[in-house]
Amino acid sequence: MKVAVESVGSFQRKLSITFPAQHVKSELDTAFKRYARRARLPGFRPGKVPRKVLEARFGSDVKGEVANDLIQRGYRDAVQKESLEPVGQPNLDEAGDINASADFVFIVTVDVKPTVELTKVVGVDVVYPKVEVTDAEIDAEVRNQILRARETRLVEVSDRASQKGDLVMVELEAKDGDTVVYSAPGTMVNTGFDKYHAGVEAFLVGLSIGEEKAGSVSFAANCETPDLAGRKLDVTAKVLSIQASVVPDLDDALAEKLGFEGGAVGMREALRAKLSGDRDELARNQARANLLESLIAANPFDVPEGMVDNSLEMLLQELRLQAAYAGRDPRSLAYTDAQIADLRMRAAFAAKAGLILERVSSDEKIAITDADLESRYQQIADQSGRAVTAVRGQFAKPDQLEELKARMLEEKTLDWLLERANIVEPAEAPAAPAAEAAPAAEAKPAKKAKKAKKEEPAPEAPAAAELDLSFLSGAVGKVKEAIESGDHDAHLQAILEAEQGGKARKGALAAIEKRIADIG
């Protein structure tokens, strides 16, 4: 087999591959013998069909199979022989005829991984966000802890109208035209969210005791009262009583009941340490994103379309996984042309970032050691509550281990670069994200009762400052959800999966969402 390589532009290589006639004849002979053994033709014994009959009957099929086999095998061997690193699928430009007396020549064009020349990797300016946790944020997190633990108490309210998050006892009637489809002389509705009356909550906000209101209400499709679900009905409501949830002041006894040592002071210190740790990780990911942006700006280069295609498919796959995590059918996802263009821009950024990190790790001989692996195993074990041996066994398969090591190498390279960057403090630190409570379980009042049992409402979580966590993907997206909800215990498995998937570069890439449109 002969191979001729021609450069076509910066990234494409045109391969002209030739199999000599003798090799083609041998392949044809082998293929016809295989057909002779399988052929069942009238008038001939199995395996005794003459070659001329086979050629007349199956000639085009045999030649097609031989051509396909030679093209696949020839391309694979040519890439290996010429030490090429293809990205994307090759394009078959031209293929000759299969003939036992002539050479077989075919031409393919393929994108190859570019050779990246880095002019500056050390000392680039990197903005590192400031990390600060205020007393007000600790107060908010204390409140969230109390709400999540349902340590609030209900008090009767008579001096104000109902507010979102109150428990309101109402006479409630819903009609479809002149037909009464639902009637409750006394039912408790949580004006924050009530699964039995989902859709009516806002309708009841702002009403005082004894006040009546009539109007049209669109009930949610997931409303758990079948007669109401998904329907637009004429509703009449009269407020009978209002109960509000009161959050008690934090004291040593309450802190201990919530599972914190050291009383109220110890609880606040523990929450500050937790919030600071979360903010540190977010700030580091933001700094990594800024670092990658600075490196790409300092070392401009293009990437082949095939590499961007691969990166785009990875992003789309992660979005499909996110949909599956959220209980949605991934096949239902559809994107506009503008969204695909935006995703493609992110894919190009990710491809460039990967090439830069690969080149730096090679030039600087950054590698993952056995000690690094053991440290990561221990970290995953600590976070997931599993034994180190179990975690180590999880990566027993070579492909899984290599994937972990590749992601760890990217993370180690990012940190190596960050340590050698020129850290610049932001002129004005971005607003730190406020802690946010996980939704408390909604109250479950009787749907029809003259006197409903007092139950805790599902308090409304306080508004949170916008989190710079956009487009965290795959398993990292589950960490994002856990951080946003405040469910720090439940996200341990998500952290484990993120560690396996390489959270460093993903976290860094996540942080570029708001500025991605500025990257060309």
What is the percentage of the chain residues whose pLDDT exceeds 90?
Answer: 59
Helix (H) or strand (E) holding 489, with range, is none
User: Considering only CA atoms, which of 453, 454, 457, 452 is closest in space to residue 441?
Assistant: 457
DSSP letters for 316-376: HHHHHHHHHHTT--GGG----HHHHHHHHHHHHHHHHHHHHHHHHHHHTT----HHHHHHH
Q: Is the pLDDT of residue 448 over 50?
A: no
**Kind of pairing between the strands at 422-424 and 125-127:** parallel
User: Considering only CA atoms, which of 242, 180, 190 is closest in space to residue 211?
Assistant: 242
Q: Is the pLDDT of residue 106 over 70?
A: yes
Q: What was the pLDDT predicted at 227?
A: 93
- 396-438 tens-digit pLDDT: 998 899 999 999 999 999 999 999 999 998 874 444 343 333 3
State the architecture of 153-246+440-461 in CATH terms.
Roll (3.10)
pLDDT category at 441 given cuts 50, 70, 90 is very low
- 73-87 tens-digit pLDDT: 999 999 999 999 998
| Domain ranges for the chain | 2-111, 125-138+253-433+468-518, 153-246+440-461
User: In the predicted model, what is the mean pLDDT of residues 324-345?
Assistant: 86
- 347-365 tens-digit pLDDT: 999 999 999 999 999 999 9
Binning the chain into helix, strand and coil, the percentages to the nearest 5 are 45, 15, 40
Q: What was the pLDDT predicted at 190?
A: 93
DSSP letters for 417-444: HHHTSEEE--SSPPPPPPP-PPPPPPP-
The tokens of 285 are what?
Answer: 């990911």
Q: Is the pLDDT of residue 89 over 90?
A: no
Q: Is the pLDDT of residue 252 over 60?
A: yes
Q: Is the pLDDT of residue 136 over 90?
A: yes
**Three-state DSSP state, 259:** coil
Interatomic CA distance for residues 418 and 128, integer angstroms: 10
pLDDT category at 500 given cuts 50, 70, 90 is very low
User: In the predicted model, what is the mean pLDDT of residues 291-317?
Assistant: 91
Q: Is the pLDDT of residue 344 over 60?
A: yes
8 A C-beta contact, residue 322 and residue 473:
yes
The tokens of 429 are what?
Answer: 């630190």
CA dist list (Å): 440 to 138, 197, 456, 461: 19, 17, 10, 9
- 362-388 tens-digit pLDDT: 999 999 999 999 999 999 999 889 999
Interatomic CA distance for residues 294 and 512, integer angstroms: 12
Q: Is the pLDDT of residue 270 over 80?
A: yes
The tokens of 302 are what?
Answer: 């293009």
State the architecture of 2-111 in CATH terms.
2-Layer Sandwich (3.30)
Q: What is the CA radius of gyration of the chain?
A: 33
Q: Is the pLDDT of residue 503 over 60?
A: no
Interatomic CA distance for residues 507 and 470, integer angstroms: 10
User: Considering only CA atoms, which of 213, 292, 243, 260 is closest in space to residue 504?
Assistant: 292
- 6-55 tens-digit pLDDT: 999 888 999 999 999 999 999 999 998 888 888 888 878 777 888 888 88
Q: What was the pLDDT predicted at 495?
A: 37
User: In the predicted model, what is the mean pLDDT of residues 179-208?
Assistant: 94
β-strand partners of 105: 18
8 A C-beta contact, residue 132 and residue 429:
yes
Q: Is the pLDDT of residue 248 over 50?
A: yes
Phi-psi region of 383 (alpha: psi -120 to 50; beta: other; left: phi over 0): alpha
The tokens of 141 are what?
Answer: 């997190």
- Residues in CB range of 29: below 8 A, 6 or more apart: none
Residue 18 burial (C-beta neighbours within 10 Å; 0-12, 13-18, 19+): middle
User: Considering only CA atoms, which of 91, 93, 98 is closest in space to residue 67?
Assistant: 98
Buried/exposed 238-269: b ≥16 CB within 10 Å, e otherwise: bbbbbbbbeeeebeeebbeeeebeeebeebbe
User: In the predicted model, what is the mean pLDDT of residues 462-480?
Assistant: 34
User: Considering only CA atoms, which of 154, 148, 174 is closest in space to residue 166?
Assistant: 154
Q: What was the pLDDT predicted at 425?
A: 83
Q: What was the pLDDT predicted at 130?
A: 86
User: Considering only CA atoms, which of 211, 190, 210, 212 is closest in space to residue 202?
Assistant: 190
Q: What was the pLDDT predicted at 491?
A: 36
Q: What was the pLDDT predicted at 203?
A: 96
8 A C-beta contact, residue 21 and residue 70:
no
Residue in the structure block whose two tokens are 């949610």: 220
The tokens of 85 are what?
Answer: 């690193």
**Three-state DSSP state, 68:** helix
Q: What is the mean pLDDT of the chain?
A: 82
Annotation: CATH topology of 125-138+253-433+468-518: Trigger factor, domain 2 (1.10.3120)
